[in-house]
Amino acid sequence: MDLLRSLFKGDKVIWVVFLMLCLISIIEVFSAASTLTYKSGDYWAPISQHLLYMMLGAGVVLLVHKMPCKLFRLIPVLTLPTAAVLLLVTMLFGEKVNGAGRWLAIGGINFQPSELGKLAVITSTALILAMMQEEKGANPRAFKYIMCIAGLTCLLIAPENASTAGMLFGVTILMMFIGRVPFRQLGKMLGTIALVLGIAVGGLFATPNKVLDEVPGLHRAVTWKGRLAGFFVGDGEVAPEDYDINKNAQVAHANIAIATSHLVGKMPGNSVERDFLSQAFSDFIYAIIIEELGLLGGAFVAFLYIILLLRAGRIAGQCDKKYLSLMVMGLALLLVCQAMLNMMVAVGLFPVTGQPLPLISKGGTSTLINCAYIGIILSVSRYVEKKKQEEAMEAAMQVQNVTNEGPLMSADARSLSEDEYEELNQEG
DSSP state of 94: P
Which residues lie below 8 Å from residue 146, measured CB to CB, with a gap of 6+?
124, 125, 128, 129, 172, 176, 181
Q: 253 or 177: which carries more pLDDT confidence?
A: 177
Judge whether 401 lies within some domain: no
- Which residue(s) pair with 137 in the sheet? 134
Q: In the predicted model, what is the mean pLDDT of residues 49-65?
A: 93
Residue 212: pLDDT over 60:
yes
pTM: predicted TM-score of the whole model, two decimal places: 0.86
Judge whether 416 lies within some domain: no
Judge whether 203 lies within some domain: yes
Judge whether 412 lies within some domain: no
pLDDT at residue number 372: 95
Judge whether 415 lies within some domain: no
Amino acid at 406: G
Judge whether 410 lies within some domain: no
Q: Domain total for the chain?
A: 1
C-alpha–C-alpha distance, residues 363 and 238, integer Å: 36
- Which residue(s) pair with 95 in the sheet? 103
Backbone angles phi, psi at 105, to 5 degrees: -105, 120
Residue 424: pLDDT over 50:
no
Judge whether 411 lies within some domain: no
Range picked from 296-305, 353-362, 384-393, 415-424 for highest mean pLDDT:
296-305
Residue 45: pLDDT over 50:
yes
| Ramachandran assignment for 99, one of left (phi > 0), alpha (psi -120 to 50 degrees), beta (any other) | left
Structural domain of 143: 2-394
Tens-digit pLDDT profile for residues 96-110:
665 556 777 776 677
Judge whether 425 lies within some domain: no
